Structure 1
Amino acid sequence: MEDLFEKIKVKYLKFKTTDLPSEPTKEFILPALTAGIQNQGLNNFVPKENTTILKNVISISANGANTGATFYQNKEFTVLQDAYAINWIYTNNLLTENHYLYLTSSISKTILGNYDWSNKAGWEKIKSKKIQLPKRNGNIDFDFMDTFISQLENERLAKLETYLSINRLKDYTLTSEEQEVLKNFDNEKFDEFNVLDIFDVKNTKNILSRDIIENSGEIPYLCASTENNAISSYISYDEKYLDKGNCVFIGGKTFVVTYQENDFYSNDSHNLILNLRKEDEKNKLNQLYLATCINKSLGRKYSWGDSISNRKIQTEKVSLPVKNKQPNYKLMEILISAIQKLVIKEVVLYTDRKIAATQIV
């Protein structure tokens, strides 16, 4: 790697991650790279003044559980103490975004998963590692990289376009009812309800990870991870261990709360299933809202060292919007429908733009 890349020197920033905002403010506007993996590791913001501003480079996490996480950063950012950025030594200005994406993937395949808390993926450790790149006539084949990434993108765009159409998500126009809910949401009244008044709670069954064959089937295998809606793999296994979907799922040891639409297998009997008692309100949109309420109401209380359990949740309360002293499920459903449209609008427009550009090419 050191034959192709160099570590970029940046000004040392004295900020502690915990003291930095997670959203931009008037002064703190520059994304800062940490040891995380959410949002490409750009989870905090710092002032631009007296800061090294980077763009169109590759970033690498050098600490934490995600050490070695590698991203291509195509917008302005800087790095904090637990991460660094590397630059292509030769003809850097001639590299396209597709080249960077290919190089990032090659680096990630070499280092990700091979380092941990006690063996961090710092530049001095990884710079002597070898990465695999395509060659033609003795030279790195940049044309292949460009074409290959374009093909992958086109395949996924086609799948996304089909998914949006089949699930009728291309209509992102807000109804008058949805507009009204968004406009007045800050004025809605909330109240606290016992979790057990809203949900039936039970522990999941469990299958140890050592007993499964990854990607052996089509049933989700859940763990307590924040990634991919807590799904670590899709497996085939004895159906007597199957748990019913259309529920709120809590990863017991890490308090990761998700909505699970389909039946699933679980990796740990400490995980919890929350089934909505009110059957006529048990739809996807309501439960997406409820999963967020559970997380907001209880997430600050539980962690790896003090994990949630079936016994502990028995006395917990959750804050919900109310109407006539009862949970306002109609409001929940309309709000999530509106938010889904607002989010999907950008996805639809992005897909349409990319497909149009591909057709022109």
Structure 2
Amino acid sequence: MEEEFEASGGEWLKKSFDEIFKPVRRGDVTNQLTLKGAKEGLNFVAQNDTNNGFVKTVSNDEYKVFKGNSIIIGRQTGIAYYQANDFVTTDGVLVLEPLEFDLNRYTGLFFTTVLLKQLQKFSYTNTVSAQKLKELSLCLPYKMEGVKKVIDFCFIKKYIETLEAERIETLEAYLTVTNLRDYHLTKNDEKVLDKFEKLSDTKSRVEESEVFRLSPVTMLTLFPNIHQGRRLKKDDQINGDLPFVMAGTTNTGVVRNIGNDVRVFPKQSLTIDIFGNTFYRGYEFGAGDDTGVFWNDKMKDSKALLYLKTVIEKSLVGKYDFGSKLRASQTHNFKFDVPQTNNQIDYQFMSDFIRAVEKLVIKDLVIWTDKKIAATKEVVDGV
């Protein structure tokens, strides 16, 4: 496609940031606890690298509202996201709006991709700022229109459509190879889901029997091994094979693979950084001093660990930031409600529940993929 673009007279030109975007603006939400959740309202987006930065919908109207078809950049994470809808955001998020054209889904995704390549050098120790963005140059496709060179939006649209088609094909192959196409619930899956639903029903027989219930358990009980990583400056890191985890959500906190002589933490662990970001690790890794590591030598089931990861993450989200950092030593007596049977932690239930939930999620994904593939084939056949 690029060869065709260049053969038709198109060329890639470097443009300064200021030639493409208006002056950078910032959000003004300083305390997320002041946000009022609402089923219908404005999107609240933050520096998360999941769900396109979306956190929840809110009813607050006292904060600065940004129009959709914008791009946001997390100052600490260096991650960019295209926002299609109106939103409010924090003061840690930079908002970009194009200078001489409007963004849509295709151009929004394209410019986000271009920016991400330039933003890889930023992190919470080298934060993004409006001034640093001005130093960036963006390589963009241009074509001649009369006697003037203009951005080739037709190429951009075709480029994004091609990428989406390739990703769908890759997803289709992955689902087939991993056998994740089997999303049909077994009788045990249905039983587990029903059991979980009754946990919130105080009148259910499950609660009344007190055989199976949610009960608080301390972090130290769940994870007898709790350790903080050790400081290793970026300048001292050398290339190697060991994933090294630091605070942040980009690439689940893995900044690079290192060859330094550091402590190797075991797979089947959880990490929680100073901001409360929680991740499951199914591989051996090293960790910086901004990251706590949690594991239980008797707990090796990845599904059960994913269940606990979600429970812990929901409990910690929004409570920690640069002004209030979380350290592993603080967590020993934190309590989390987990399923118990006969007063014993029910790891099997947690594992079975995650497997059932995966099927529910995969079902929607498989159906969506099949529809996308059918639509793509229809377009191709019609050409």
Say whether residues 1:223 and 2:246 are aligned partners: yes
Instruction: Mark the CA change 1:353 to 1:7 in structure 2 (over 3 Å): closer, same or farther.
Output: farther
User: Take 2:288 and 2:343, find their aligned partners in 1: how far apart are those partners?
Assistant: 38
Instruction: Mark the CA change 1:159 to 1:275 in structure 2 (over 3 Å): closer, same or farther.
Output: farther
Instruction: Mark the CA change 1:168 to 1:243 in structure 2 (over 3 Å): closer, same or farther.
Output: same
Query: What residue is the counterpart of 2:352 in the other structure?
Result: 334
For residues 156-204 of structure 1, what are the alpha-carbon distances to aligned partners after superposition, in whole Å with 9 as ceiling and x for unaligned? 3333223322322222222232223323324331223344444330436
Query: What residue is the counterpart of 2:327 in the other structure?
Result: 308
Say whether residues 1:321 and 2:365 are aligned partners: no
User: Take 2:270 and 2:124, find their aligned partners in 1: how far apart are those partners?
Assistant: 31
Instruction: Mark the CA change 1:245 to 1:141 in structure 2 (over 3 Å): closer, same or farther.
Output: same
User: By how many angstroms is 1:134 displaced?
Assistant: 1.6
Query: What residue is the counterpart of 1:132 in the other structure?
Result: 139
For residues 116-166 of structure 1, what are the alpha-carbon distances to aligned partners after superposition, in whole Å with 9 as ceiling and x for unaligned? 8999745x9967965321224444333432333334333333332233223
Say whether residues 1:181 and 2:192 are aligned partners: yes
**Partners of 1:58 and 1:104 within 8 A in 2:** no
Instruction: Mark the CA change 1:116 to 1:229 in structure 2 (over 3 Å): closer, same or farther.
Output: closer
**Partners of 1:204 and 1:243 within 8 A in 2:** no
Letter in 1 for 2:82: Y
User: Take 1:289 and 1:81, find their aligned partners in 2: how far apart are those partners?
Assistant: 29
* Greater CA drift, 32-41 or 107-116: 107-116
**Partners of 1:60 and 1:84 within 8 A in 2:** yes
Query: What residue is the counterpart of 1:71 in the other structure?
Result: 81
**Partners of 1:30 and 1:77 within 8 A in 2:** yes
Query: What residue is the counterpart of 1:245 in the other structure?
Result: 267
**Paired-residue identity, %:** 26
For residues 185-243 of structure 1, what are the alpha-carbon distances to aligned partners after superposition, in whole Å with 9 as ceiling and x for unaligned? 243312233444443304366572433346x54x432223234333223x252687433
Query: What residue is the counterpart of 1:354 in the other structure?
Result: 372
Equivalent of residue 178 in structure 2, options 164, 167, 179: 167
* Greater CA drift, 151-160 or 321-330: 151-160
**Partners of 2:225 and 2:296 within 8 A in 1:** yes
User: By how many angstroms is 1:324 displaced?
Assistant: 1.0
**Partners of 2:21 and 2:96 within 8 A in 1:** no
User: Take 2:129 and 2:289, find their aligned partners in 1: how far apart are those partners?
Assistant: 30
Instruction: Mark the CA change 1:139 to 1:161 in structure 2 (over 3 Å): closer, same or farther.
Output: same
**Partners of 1:298 and 1:318 within 8 A in 2:** no
User: Take 2:51 and 2:187, find their aligned partners in 1: how far apart are those partners?
Assistant: 32
User: Take 2:82 and 2:376, find their aligned partners in 1: how far apart are those partners?
Assistant: 22
**Partners of 2:36 and 2:59 within 8 A in 1:** no
The root-mean-square deviation of aligned C-alpha atoms, in Å, is 4.2
TM-score (norm 2): 0.70
Moved over 6 A (4+): 12-16, 48-53, 114-120, 298-303
SS in 1 for 2:215: strand
**Partners of 2:271 and 2:279 within 8 A in 1:** yes
Equivalent of residue 211 in structure 1, options 236, 253, 262: 236
Q: What is the aligned residue count?
A: 340
SS in 2 for 1:134: strand
Query: What residue is the counterpart of 2:11 in the other structure?
Result: none
User: By how many angstroms is 1:288 displaced?
Assistant: 0.9
| Matches for 1:86-101 after TM superposition, within 5 Å | 86-87=97-98, 89-90=100-101, 92=102, 97-101=105-109
SS in 2 for 1:292: helix
Instruction: Mark the CA change 1:358 to 1:116 in structure 2 (over 3 Å): closer, same or farther.
Output: same
Which residues of structure 2 form unaligned runs of 5+? Answer: 1-16, 200-212
Query: What residue is the counterpart of 2:13 in the other structure?
Result: none
User: Take 1:17 and 1:147, find their aligned partners in 2: how far apart are those partners?
Assistant: 39
User: Take 1:238 and 1:114, find their aligned partners in 2: how far apart are those partners?
Assistant: 22
